[in-house]
């Protein structure tokens, strides 16, 4: 098993890094689904899906010891998605996602970036 870990480049001393990458990926994908489900469509299923995705993203951010970094990363990914929507669709609803998430991401990294 140690040989396989060495071949794959896994370092047991940095297992926290792998945990945070996995949680950040899961939280970011869930947050993106929540934005799409709650922002684009207005059906009962989409509302339930959006709420479930928000809960998953929050749980992923809360269970990590680096919750502020994960939260800032998730906000950054939502901001990037929002700006892509602004550039591609020219829809005014995309501004309501892009601008607040960008401000919150910049604020999060400005406040907690030194920790």
pLDDT digits (tens, 9 = 90+) for 70-95: 888 888 988 998 888 888 887 777 88
User: So what's the pLDDT on residue 26?
Assistant: 93
pTM: 0.76
Tell whether 78 is covered by a domain.
yes
Whether 19 is covered by a domain: the verdict is yes
Q: Is residue 2 part of a domain?
A: no
Closest CA to 70 of 25, 32, 107: 25
Return d(Cα 91, Cα 102) in angstroms, integer.
17
Asked whether residue 31 is domain-assigned, the answer is yes
Q: How many folded domains does the chain comprise?
A: 1
Asked if residue 33 is part of any domain, the answer here is yes
DSSP letters of 46-103?
HHHHHHHHHHHHHHHHHHSTTHHHHHHHHHHHHHHHHHHHHHHH--HHHHHHHHHHHH
Q: Which residues of the chain have pLDDT under 70?
A: 1, 5, 8, 10-11, 40-41, 113-115
Determine the structural domain holding residue 103 and report its residue range. Answer: 14-112
């Amino acid at each position: 098993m140690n040989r396989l870990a060495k071949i794959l480049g896994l370092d047991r001393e940095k297992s926290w890094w792998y945990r945070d990458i996995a949680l950040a990926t899961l939280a970011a994908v869930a947050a993106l689904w929540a934005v799409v489900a709650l922002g684009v469509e207005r059906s009962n299923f989409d509302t339930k899906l959006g709420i479930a995705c928000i809960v998953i993203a929050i749980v992923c951010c809360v269970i990590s010891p680096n919750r502020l970094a994960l939260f800032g990363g998730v906000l950054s990914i939502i901001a990037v998605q929002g700006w892509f929507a602004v550039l591609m669709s020219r829809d005014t609803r995309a501004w309501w996602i892009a601008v607040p998430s960008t401000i919150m991401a910049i604020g999060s990294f400005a406040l907690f970036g030194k920790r």
